């Protein structure tokens, strides 16, 4: 892995972990941090020894949003000309699953990065919000789109227009996060989920992720057709033979990712 200044990287078995690490700025997402995050995720995604990734932050903040000091003086042309924030989308383009493990503030771009992940596991201390309206702007990396798809129009409008924060409990009830756990158990829970995913057959993991994501991009009938073709395709893998033979023989499968 490259040397990074704003993130930490580590591996735990087949799990690649990126920890956002600008504690003095509550992990505000500077251009450098986003560059490093995208680079580290890309390296894990390409590493055959890694089967799943986790993005996490600190106890106080997953990330408190885009770095306001960096963008405060930007002109329209600075933002439009450089396609400001376009690079952030790459977080959502990894082929292997990415879990967000969130404690503390996940605000603005922090909430948006968490929503680019495949699912969010939250500590009971997590607070989610899209407070950009307080700064005279709106979310810029999918907040109005992914939040609306996750929690529906009424709550998304409430969050985006008032800028209020949502507790972990409300976020779970609303469908934004998959599980809420005590803060002390967050990383264990996230690592356990990631290790479980990494132990499955990679072709079926990639196929499952791609198929769920297709649900957001297409009609029901097209989505089901896409799913069925991918399902058929998995019968060409050794791992399908192994997985089903292991079930019949009442033993654990030994997947070889092919
Ligand atoms: N950018 C830059 N610096 C930030 C920051 C941000 N988004 N959020 C926090 N910080 C800095 C603070 O300026 C402060 O720095 P100093 O110690 O040098 O003054 C430090 O982090 C600690 O923050 P606070 O003292 O404010 O801590 P708090 O506990 O009193 O409040 C908070 C925490 C409610 C999260 C508050 O920091 C806050 O409101 N932050 C801004 C949240 C925000 O508006 N996020 C949206 C950004 S816009 C965006 O993300 C656009 C997009 O769609 C991509």
CA of 69 to the centre of ligand 1 (A): 9
Residues 6+ apart with CB under 8 A from 238: 256, 258
Q: Give residue ranges with CB within 6 A of ligand 1.
A: 25-26, 28, 64-69, 85, 105, 107-109, 112, 131-132, 135, 139-141, 143
Token digits for 186? 């967050």
pLDDT digit of tens for each residue in the chain (258 aa)? 789 999 999 999 999 999 999 999 999 999 999 999 999 999 999 999 999 999 999 999 999 999 999 999 999 999 999 999 999 999 999 999 999 999 999 999 999 999 999 999 999 999 999 999 999 999 999 999 999 999 999 999 999 999 999 999 999 999 999 999 999 999 999 999 999 999 999 999 999 999 999 999 999 999 999 999 999 999 999 999 999 999 999 999 999 999
Q: Catalytic residue positions?
A: 66, 109, 112, 132
Residues 7-198: name the CATH superfamily: 2-enoyl-CoA Hydratase; Chain A, domain 1 (3.90.226.10)
**DSSP alpha helices (H): ranges in the chain?**
31-46, 68-71, 76-81, 109-116, 143-151, 153-162, 168-174, 186-199, 202-214, 220-233, 238-248
Residue 257 CA to residue 244 CA, distance in Å, equals 15
CA of 251 to the centre of ligand 1 (A): 52
Q: Where, residue-wise, is CATH 3.90.226.10 in the chain? A: 7-198
Question: What predicted TM-score, i.e. pTM, was given to this entire model?
Answer: 0.97
Q: Where, residue-wise, is CATH 1.10.12.10 in the chain? A: 201-249
| CATH code of the domain made up of 201-249 | 1.10.12.10
């Amino acid at each position: 892995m490259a040397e990074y200044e704003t993130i930490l990287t580590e591996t735990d078995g087949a799990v690649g972990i990126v920890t956002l690490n600008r504690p003095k700025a509550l992990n505000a997402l500077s251009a450098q941090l986003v560059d490093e995050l995208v680079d580290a995720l890309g390296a894990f995604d390409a590493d055959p020894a890694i089967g799943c990734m986790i993005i996490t932050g600190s106890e106080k903040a997953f990330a408190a949003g885009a770095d306001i000091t960096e963008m405060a003086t930007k002109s329209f042309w600075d933002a439009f000309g450089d396609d400001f924030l376009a690079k952030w989308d790459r977080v959502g383009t990894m082929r292997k699953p990415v879990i967000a493990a969130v404690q503390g503030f996940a605000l603005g771009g922090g909430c948006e990065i968490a929503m680019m992940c495949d699912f969010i596991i939250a500590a009971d201390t997590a607070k989610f919000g899209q407070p950009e309206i307080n700064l005279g702007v709106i979310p810029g990396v999918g907040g109005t789109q992914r939040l609306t798809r996750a929690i529906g129009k009424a709550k998304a409008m409430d969050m985006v227009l008032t800028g209020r924060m949502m507790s972990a409990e409300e976020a779970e009830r609303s469908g934004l996060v998959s599980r809420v756990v005590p803060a002390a158990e967050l990383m264990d829970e996230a690592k356990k989920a990631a290790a479980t995913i990494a132990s499955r057959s990679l072709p079926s993991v990639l196929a499952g992720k791609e198929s769920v994501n297709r649900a957001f991009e297409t009609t029901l009938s097209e989505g089901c057709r896409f799913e069925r073709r991918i399902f058929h395709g998995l019968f060409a893998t050794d791992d399908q033979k192994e997985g089903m033979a292991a079930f019949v023989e009442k033993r654990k499968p030994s997947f070889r990712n092919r």
